[in-house]
Structure 1
Amino acid sequence: MKLIAVTTPYFFIEEDKIITALFEEGLDILHLRKPETCAMYSERLLSLIPQQYHKKIVTHEHFYMKEEFNLMGIHLNARNSKEPEDYEGHVSCSCHSVEEVMLKKKFYDYVFMSPIFDSISKEGYQSQYTPEDLRTATKDGIIDKNVVALGGITSDNILQVKDFGFGGAALLGDLWGKFDYCNDQNYSAVIKHFRKLKEIAG
């Protein structure tokens, strides 16, 4: 099962170092999600990440950066719902129901399905799925290797995500919550936690 990290919506000083370290530890894909931020800051962050990892980065904003930095691709959501005209390459998409996944996944390289569990990073953003809903969706072939679970994924439930048949797990609140950018002197806790998640995910 692939592990995908989604960035925090804000920038911080050690971010490029942590992202690079995560790639070195075997992170499969990074989703660069910085809503309502200036492109200049995303460009700077990308310039600090070794070029060898750019092909594993998907951007949610400023889609021109895909070509400029030779990124993996772009991600569509409510804010940016259409790919640019004449765009060619990887496209992923956010979905928020079993029905939406069923309708959209055939058009994209993979889709995010969320929130699988109650969100850690978004207060009040609670899962609408029961385990039975997810098992049925798997049995019906809706959840498969092209569907990535997002929302509330932790070391305590990531094995469930794998058992449900998702092709990947997207990490956000549980991962970045291991680092306090205001107070922590190093980010070893983030890397240690990622290793644990990777070991469980297999």
Structure 2
Amino acid sequence: MIVISNPTAVANEIKLIHSLFEGGMDLFHVRKPSFSETEMKAFVTAIELECRNRLVLHNYHHLTEEFGINRIHFSSTNRPDNFQKTEGFTVSTSTHSIEEFNALSEDIDYAFLSPVFKSISKENYEPNVNWSTEIKKRNNFKTKLIGLGGIDAENINQALQFGFDDVALLGTIWKSNNPIENFKSCQQIVLSF
């Protein structure tokens, strides 16, 4: 299961990230669009060395070498058309329709498709399609399909039943009074699916 960082700083964020890793979080997407390069370096430096191989950088991709990170993410708007990934790197991207997902290059290892449900963290961001029928149009099986948007313990099973290969969590973690409990509840459902 993937967790995406809150776009802005959160109280005790690094401590929470370490707790999520201890709890079994597979990957942590560092999405801090307003961070300067200096802030990004400080943020990554604060994360324990043994966890850095599970970080995914959304920006400042050139920092991967400095920090021993081999995972990068492209938003749907900054994804290069003729991208060729470097050997040993994992590359992900964001998509917003099954057609966009189906058209992805084989160099993309996995892609978020959102929103699956009404977003917890973004105002007025909700699906305008029926995912149970949309996913049937999938013809790209080289890229792993990750559901994102409004996913929590109440609907995670439904997202997996739609046909998503996995899910990513954001709002249910960072907009909660109990982020670790929410993560563990979601994790139990995914593991038993």
Residue in 1 that maps onto 2:162: 164
Residue in 1 that maps onto 2:189: 200
- The answer for unaligned runs of 5 or more in structure 1 is 180-188
The residue type paired with residue 184 of structure 2 is: R
The residue type paired with residue 104 of structure 1 is: L
- Give the direction of change, closer, same or farther, for the CA distance of 1:86–1:148 in structure 2 (3 Å limit): closer
The residue type paired with residue 13 of structure 2 is: E
Q: Which runs of 4+ in 1 moved over 4 A?
A: 140-145
Residue-by-residue CA offset, 1:95-118 (whole Å, 9 max, x unaligned): 110100100163301111111111
Residue-by-residue CA offset, 1:116-152 (whole Å, 9 max, x unaligned): 1111111111112214324523xx5447870100111
Aligned identity (percent) is 32
- Give the direction of change, closer, same or farther, for the CA distance of 1:144–1:87 in structure 2 (3 Å limit): closer
- Give the direction of change, closer, same or farther, for the CA distance of 1:143–1:98 in structure 2 (3 Å limit): farther
Q: CA deviation at 1:64?
A: 1.2
- 5 Å-filtered alignment, 1:75-86, equals 75-82=73-80
* Distance in 2, Cα, partners of 1:47 & 1:149: 29
Q: How many residues align?
A: 189
CA contact 1:92–1:109 (8 Å) conserved in 2 = yes
Q: CA deviation at 1:79?
A: 4.9
Q: CA deviation at 1:36?
A: 2.6
**Structure 2 residue aligned with 1:15, among 2, 6, 13?**
13
The residue type paired with residue 127 of structure 2 is: S
CA contact 1:32–1:58 (8 Å) conserved in 2 = yes
TM-score, structure 2 length as denominator?
A: 0.88
Residue in 2 that maps onto 1:73: 71
Range with bigger deviation, 95-104 or 37-46? 37-46
The residue type paired with residue 41 of structure 2 is: E
